[in-house]
Structure formats: structure tokens, C-alpha cells
Structure 1
């Protein structure tokens, strides 16, 4: 099940689990930092180093539920990064390590967009054409204007993840509803995947590891691999890293966004801001 790519993506490549509907997170009063829900954080130990990523059930509930279930079963342990494109992404999650396999679970219906209401605001929103962009947690998103919610039956608007660096997406074949177990880490931004693939998480730490994974279609042997993939909540207390993420709703993050907007002007997108993370 190789990741189907449009002509634009091919051209770019040539050049260069039951689950709560919202992610629980703890934010200290007056703090710029939050502690992500350890049940929505995966710790991926690879032969190149550690990758820590946060999952977003509010953006893709069924995909996150699937990935969490496979992680808890040990399904991903030992699987390779079999297809890695330098300026694009690193794909894994196939028990055959070829791009043609999957789990014994049924394929998933696409979750390219999600419905967002007042309970899920877009942090630091700014205009992006007729829409608005910003962040839900560390996940970069674009949304229909929030003001349109008063005109919809469910009082919500369509929102979708943006495939910036570090975003996790679900691989699929040509059928939009063919995602199963394979997923990929974005090595660089690629907006052509927005609204055509399901974005379900983002790297908190280890983007350098993602970018250091051996490149190739297929990647040359011996392929780099995920030695183990665990939920942060399932790690023994003495081996569990402490993770703090800057709250994208905070004044400190607002200042970071404003600085980058001033530097880049009209070319600014939400892919241009790295969300600070502390891991101990």
C-alpha cells in the first residue's frame, strides 16, 4: 500500500484506538507550558535515535484509535522505514516492509477534515485567503472561518491538518478509504497533501532523527527501523521522559508567531513556526 502521490508531489520529490474525543492536557494557571496527555504521546525508539510525537484524536479520532491500538499490541516494533524521500517524508508501519502490507484490522475511512466547534479554537489564528490558519495543540491546521459556525446545523466548521515538517500522516493507496497501518513522518512541508491525506499527529522531539533516516524508494538495506514504539503512558515511571510543550494559546507562543510574521511578511504560514518543547 504505497502512498499515492499527485504529479505535484512527484515533482517535488524529484527535486529535492476506545478514546476520548479530545486530548486531555494539563496547563498550569498562568503558564506558557502544558503537559500532553501521555496516552496520546508515542515514543519511537529507532536505530538513529528517539522520536516523540503527539497524537490528535480531535483531528482524526479513528486513525489515532487505530495507531494507539497497534502501538499497544507491539505491532510496530521492528518495522523499517522502507520508503524515504529526502524533501518529502519517511514511510513505515508495514509488516511486510514493502509498502504492500497492513494489519489484520479493516481499512479506515478517510478523515481528511474534521468538524471544529467553539470547544476547539484555532490558536493564534490568522487569515489564509478566505480561511483561517493556526494551531490545535502543535498540529498546524487551516479552517473555514469560525464565524461561519453560526450558519451550520452543528455549529461547527470544516478544519484540516497542514502537512508541515514533523506532521504524521496516514499512508493509503489510490482509494481515499484504504489507510490501515502504514504512516509517514513529514521531513519537509508539502501543502499538496492537505485535505487529501489524514493528518493525525506531529513530532515533538526528534525531527532531526526523521531527517537522518536513510533515503530511498525503497530505502537501501539495511533499512533504518523502529526498534520499539510505545505510548508514553505505558513506559515504566523510571524510564518515562518528562515532556512539556509550549501552549500554542499562550502569550509566549503568540510572541513567537508575531516575530516570524514580521520576518516573513506575506509568505508566512503556520509551517514557519517551531513549537518549543522541553524533554527531560
Structure 2
């Protein structure tokens, strides 16, 4: 028998088994399938000492503070919230594709509310030493930093050569407004990123945390018509009923929120499921993902997992 004919016969005999083998290749799990198979150890419960509740007429916005990145600011914010500094104030700015901001609406030069026992000035906390921070890097390059990933549950960046790390201005990031001087923030003027991630602000302003629940209440606010999106008419401002630290709220009134840990194999798999989408709709996996395009899932724990 000629070699060429023999090769054809062998290929024909093997092709059904090869087809079966190909069909048996496990289909990559979707993000939701990975989350559905998660274990209680893949999730963490928010620390009440690092959780703020922004109470609006439309509902509650939950903010997780980041003491690992901005300990001085977080300490001041805890004091301000505990003493009711923001109660009765308002959201004064909603700039399209940028930020929502709240604080004392008094115009410059007018008397402002006392800070109580909080500090009137804080050091700039734009970055911190990378040493001692459990940093989980993404595999892809970033245009804003030598390395990006997650640390302490927050989107972050790192310069291994310079030995510095910092939080990234991703959607939902909460920052402390300042003046021209780097150390001119006192933590009273807070903003939330609600547009395209303004990473140019990284290491130029102190980030103090991120919204983990309730972003939809902020992203739908009417845009301000004044410069930088400030409301020109006081009637346009959105009243703040209260901003409270979770430790000052009865446990029965705290939402039982859990956040997916970012230092587990499951989270790595979730990132990969978003980085290379293999859902039936996608025809070409991207092979790349931007840091700020990775959403950290939250949930209310199933009854079987609840403490």
C-alpha cells in the first residue's frame, strides 16, 4: 500500500475519536459560573470601622475606606462621620464623565462649619511604600504605572524600582479634594469618580476608599451647569441626610455585604474570564484588560454562609 494512501486511511480512522476528544475539552467557565461555585473563604465581610454609609433620600451609598493607603485621612474621616459633620450638607457638584462631590456648600470666604475634634490639615497621602503591601499584579501593561493590580482589596499601582504604591482612580474611587498645596486637604470635601477613569489624578490627590454599593444613586444625579459641574442654584443641590460610620449604626441596620477577595485563585480566574471573554457571543478574546475594567463583585451572603 502506498504511504500516502495509508496516511489517508489512518487519518480517516482517527478523525471520529479526535472529534470526540475535541468535544470533551472543558468549556471555560463564565464569570457568573465562577462566582456561583465560590466558597465562603473567597469572600470577606466589610469591617464596620472602615465602612461609611452615605444616606440620601434615594437610598444608601456604601463606601469602604482604605487605611492601608491613607491612614491620616481615614482617621479624620472617621472622626468627622462620628461627630455628624456632613449631616444636613449636600452634594454640590456632578460633572459629566468625571466626579460627584459633596461637602460644605459655603462659598469661599464665607463661614464654614467647624470640624469639631477632627484635624484641620492633613499630610498628602498620594502614595505609600510598596514594602509590606500584599500586591497582586495583573499580567498586562498599563499606560499609567509600571505595574497595576490589587492590594488590600483596592485597584492599585506600583513602581517596583521606586518602591512606591498607590491607589488608582478607577470608577467608584473616593478621593479627598484639595487646593493648590499638596497638603491642603482635611478630608471634608469628598468626591467619587463616576466617569472614565481619570488616571492622570493618580499620585496627585489622596484617595481614601471606594464605593462598594450604591453607585447607581450617584451616577444618575443631574449634571451641574456651573464650571466643573457645580450646581449654580442651591435648590439643585442633593441633600445629605447623614454620613455615618458603620460602627455607629446598630448592627441590625447594617447591610450584610461581602466583597470578593482579590488575593485568591478564584479572583485570578474571574480576572481571566473578563480578560479573555469566551462567552458564545465573543468571537475573538482580547488577551488584555485594563485595571479599571475589573469590577470587584459584592454580594449578600447566602443564608447557608451567613455568620
Alignment of 1:138-157 (within 5 A): 138-145=153-160, 148=161, 157=163
Instruction: Name the counterpart of 2:136.
Output: 123
Alignment of 1:191-270 (within 5 A): 191-216=199-224, 217-219=229-231, 220=233, 221-263=235-277, 265=286, 268-270=289-291
* Paired residue secondary structure (1:76): coil
* In structure 1, C-alpha distance between the alignment counterparts of 2:151 and 2:107, rounded to whole Å: 32
1:278 aligns with 2:299: yes
- Contact residue 95 and residue 102 of structure 1 kept, 8 A: no
- Contact residue 124 and residue 249 of structure 1 kept, 8 A: no
- Contact residue 48 and residue 212 of structure 1 kept, 8 A: no
* Paired residue secondary structure (1:58): coil
Q: Would you say how many aligned residue pairs link Structure 1 and Structure 2? A: 243
Instruction: Name the counterpart of 2:18.
Output: none
Question: Are residues 99 and 88 of structure 1, via their aligned partners in 2, closer, same or farther at CA, if it must alter by over 3 Å?
Answer: farther
* In structure 1, C-alpha distance between the alignment counterparts of 2:92 and 2:251, rounded to whole Å: 32
Residue deviations 1:55-96 (CA, integer Å, cap 9, x gap): 011101111111111000000112111111020001112252
Instruction: Name the counterpart of 1:47.
Output: 57
Instruction: Name the counterpart of 1:68.
Output: 78
TM-score, normalising length: structure 1: 0.79
Shift of 1:99: 10
Which blocks of at least 5 consecutive residues in structure 1 are unaligned?
Answer: 1-28
Question: CA RMSD of the aligned region, Å?
Answer: 2.5
- Contact residue 42 and residue 53 of structure 1 kept, 8 A: yes
1:58 aligns with 2:68: yes
- Contact residue 128 and residue 166 of structure 2 kept, 8 A: yes
1:161 aligns with 2:167: yes
TM-score, normalising length: structure 2: 0.72
Instruction: Name the counterpart of 2:149.
Output: 134
Instruction: Name the counterpart of 1:37.
Output: 47
Question: Please, which moves more after superposition, 128-137 or 69-78?
Answer: 128-137
- Contact residue 173 and residue 192 of structure 2 kept, 8 A: yes
- Contact residue 246 and residue 276 of structure 1 kept, 8 A: yes
1:171 to 177, 183, 190: 177
Question: Are residues 268 and 143 of structure 1, via their aligned partners in 2, closer, same or farther at CA, if it must alter by over 3 Å?
Answer: same
Which blocks of at least 5 consecutive residues in structure 2 are unaligned?
Answer: 1-38, 278-284, 302-307
